[in-house]
Amino acid sequence: MQISPSILAADFANLEQELRRVSNADWAHVDVMDAHFVPNLTLGLPVVEALLRVSPIPLDAHLMIEDPDRWAPLYAEAGCQSVTFHIEAARHPRRLARTLRAAGARACMALKPETSFTPYEPLLADLDMVLVMTVEPGFGGQSFMVDQMPKVRQVREAIKRHGGEIWVQVDGGVSATTIEQCAEAGADVFVAGSAVYGAEDAAAAIEELRALVSTHVH
């Protein structure tokens, strides 16, 4: 059970300090948005390269961008240990996943809330993680979509059939009140933004989330 705080909820003027606040987490989740695939603009490769130089924990880059076939490998090459592309934007997802792995990153496919997992189940052989979005991608602080739990369950069951160690990540509205539902449905990597960075003690918030899901095993 891994906790990946989203720096989308952090203070962008003090990102090095904000990464230190979550140094007990498993990952730092970095939301890259291009104002095309989603209606928001956050940060890109130069900022991610700077974060890689100072982060005490590995970076999990979530690319909410158009043309990930072209751009995603650059994040892997820069040193992000996990790179997530959106299946809705990828033209050649299998080739892209293999390219990410060859560059040393974990390859992850993300699904928007309205995107069905079923057509993409055959890609599992080339993936290390599947991200089920529990909000519409684009902005932090949105409410959790409980109607995505059946999809999380579906992904977990497909992984059991397929075999191999593939993680299931949830991102959006994950907090102390929703994280257990996600774990019960089959998630094992939890992206939390406001729930961690909105707390006075971010490290304690991470430990609280971890404790809530520590008894769940998939």
Active site residues: 31, 171
CB atoms within 10 A of CB 139: 15
- Which long-range contacts does 42-49 make (Cβ < 8 Å, 24+ apart)? 42/8, 43/12, 45/71, 45/74, 45/75, 45/78, 47/15, 48/75, 48/78, 48/80, 49/78, 49/79
Strand pairing category for 129-133 and 59-64: unpaired
Is the Cβ–Cβ distance between 32 and 42 less than 8 Å? Answer: yes
Closest CA to 10 of 20, 18, 22: 18
Task: Tell me the C-alpha distance between 151 and 164, whole Å.
Answer: 19
**Exposure pattern of 98-135 as b/e (b: 16+ CB <10 Å)?**
ebbbebebbbbbbbbeebebeebbebbebbbbbbbbbb
Query: Which amino acid, residue 51?
Result: L
- 119: three-class secondary structure by DSSP: helix
CA–CA distance, 130 with 25 (Å, rounded to integer):
19
